[in-house]
């Protein structure tokens, strides 16, 4: 199937940047949020980002205007998805939320629409029954910041057709991204399983007083040559996201080792989510 029109559900940090990258690549794009405030913030970010890109010589004014022309921001879900070939869901990483959103969208979209979830951890077989064509449901996992990070994990569940995977691999290349095909569902996919193991150990050492978060970050950066330390990365991706993901995992497994660490819980309770709130482990 040829993808021409794409709807992004969720206008937060990830959703808005995915929408921009899709529009830059020439696709007709609609970015939806039920919140007018979120929609306006996404539009303002896009306007500012394109202006800055032009001023720095990274884009021509013509290309920037063309991309902006391709994006429509809306609080009207039906208008956003009515003729979409592909819907990319970028809502909260909570299973019940995803199911509710997809069930609603399924009633508003054409028969051929592909449903892709940007979930960081939750495999699509958990919510594929929310739509009438589960063979068209998969995970299409972008990384933050989506305008910079090249990798997209394309995850095939047992319900997903080879045709859908083929279409999404082609689409990923067409938006100038590199796909990593995950042939078998596994919690956290590739990157986040490795990232979670590092983060879990970093939080454990900090909670136990083994080392400060600054020294743990420095050890990982200068000892392992990572571009960012685990606590810096938590601040960038969002401590609230880490809390939600681990809480969801614990509810699914019942394994105490899957619960968020005390330091994650403390920052979450204080509303210290990282860069988005100007304070996390570090001050911004």
Residue 144: active-site member: no
Contact 258, 244 (CB under 8 A): no
For 191-230, letters b (16+ CB in 10 Å) and e give: bbeebbebbbebbebbeeeeeebeebbebbeeeeeeeebb
Q: Encoding tokens for residue 83?
A: 């003729």
Q: Is 185 a catalytic residue?
A: no
Active site (annotated) includes residue 141: yes
232 catalytic? Reply is no
The catalytic residue among 119, 192, 196, 261 is 192
Looking at residue 261, the DSSP 8-state letter turns out to be P
Left if phi > 0, otherwise alpha if psi is -120 to 50, otherwise beta: which for 184?
Answer: beta
Asked whether the bond before 117 is cis by omega within 30 degrees of 0, the reply is: no
Query: Which one is catalytic: 16, 33, 117, 120?
Result: 120
Helix/strand/coil for 211: coil
Region for residue 115 given its phi and psi (left: phi exceeds 0; alpha: psi -120 to 50; beta: otherwise): beta
Q: Which active-site residues does the annotation give? A: 120, 141, 153, 192
């Amino acid at each position: 199937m040829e993808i021409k029109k794409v709807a992004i559900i969720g206008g937060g940090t990830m959703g808005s940047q995915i929408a921009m990258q899709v529009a830059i690549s020439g696709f007709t794009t609609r970015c939806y949020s039920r919140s007018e405030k979120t929609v306006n913030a996404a539009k303002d970010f896009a306007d500012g980002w394109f202006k800055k890109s032009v001023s720095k010589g990274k884009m021509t004014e013509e290309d920037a205007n063309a991309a902006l022309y391709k994006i429509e921001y809306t609080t009207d879900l039906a208008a956003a998805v009515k003729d979409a070939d592909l819907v990319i869901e970028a809502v909260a990483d909570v299973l019940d939320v995803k199911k509710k959103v997809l069930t609603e969208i399924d009633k508003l979209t054409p028969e051929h629409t592909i449903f892709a979830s940007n979930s960081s951890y939750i495999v699509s077989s958990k919510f594929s029954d929310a739509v009438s064509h589960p063979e068209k449901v998969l995970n299409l996992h972008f990384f933050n910041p989506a305008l910079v990070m090249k990798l997209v994990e394309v995850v095939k569940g047992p319900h997903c057709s080879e045709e859908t995977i083929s279409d999404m691999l082609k689409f990923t290349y067409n938006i100038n991204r590199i796909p990593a095909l995950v042939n078998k569902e596994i919690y956290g996919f590739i990157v986040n399983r490795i990232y979670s193991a590092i983060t879990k150990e970093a939080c454990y050492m900090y909670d136990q007083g083994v080392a400060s978060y600054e020294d743990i970050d420095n050890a990982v950066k200068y000892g392992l040559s990572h571009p960012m330390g685990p606590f810096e990365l938590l601040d960038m991706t969002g401590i609230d996201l880490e809390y939600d993901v681990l809480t969801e995992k614990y509810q699914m497994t019942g394994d105490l080792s899957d619960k968020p660490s005390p330091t994650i819980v403390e920052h979450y309770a204080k509303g210290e989510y990282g860069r988005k709130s100007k304070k996390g482990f570090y001050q911004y």
